[in-house]
Amino acid sequence: MRGIFRESDAISGKQARAYATINGRVEELFYAKSLEATIEKNKVDVPVLGKTNTPQRSAGWSGTGTLTIYYVTSLFRQLMRDYVKTGRDFWFDLQVINEQPGSTTGKQTVLLLGCNLDSVSAAQFDATSDDMLEEELPFTFSDYDILDQFNTITGA
């Protein structure tokens, strides 16, 4: 029997919720537009005598991401300003919840730990555009957990 994916099980990115925990305070990121976090394996060459290819093996990983938000908060600018003035860096955790009402896939909650911003827009404007101002916040993270996992869908 062949399974069929039901459109009602697809997850809309618009239904996501995201929270940042910064210095013990939880900030709901209702002004976020998008987020993508990627884990990339670091691989090293393992030359093997008698092989014409160069096999590789995993030797760690790195986590990077981009959080795109509407330009409506000074929170991240203030954190970066504090770093500029004091040299004291800052880390925070990001929690992302994906859940689609009516879907049998349930909910997935991912926690990105030890997030550290790479850059922040200090100021901006664009008098030539009708689009709302937004900013991209590239970051790295040092660990992650999956607190809730999607249900296995059967396609029935």
Which residues, in sequence order, are bridge partners of residue 151?
none
Residue-level pLDDT, tens digit, the chain, 156 residues:
577 888 888 888 889 999 999 999 999 999 999 999 999 999 999 999 999 999 999 999 999 999 999 999 999 999 999 999 999 999 999 999 999 888 889 899 999 999 999 999 999 999 999 999 999 999 999 999 999 999 888 766
Amino acid 8: pLDDT: 83
Amino acid 139: pLDDT: 98
What is the Cα–Cα distance from 120 to 135, expressed in whole angstroms? 8
Q: Are strands 92-99 and 143-148 parallel, antiparallel or unpaired?
A: unpaired
Amino acid 1: pLDDT: 59
Amino acid 79: pLDDT: 97
Predicted TM-score of the model (pTM): 0.89
Contact of 93 with 111, CB cutoff 8 Å: yes
Local structure of residue 85 (DSSP, 8 states): H
Which domains are seen in the chain, by residue range? 7-148 (2.30.110.40)
119-128 per-position pLDDT tens digit: 999 999 999 9
What is the Cα–Cα distance from 27 to 76, expressed in whole angstroms? 11
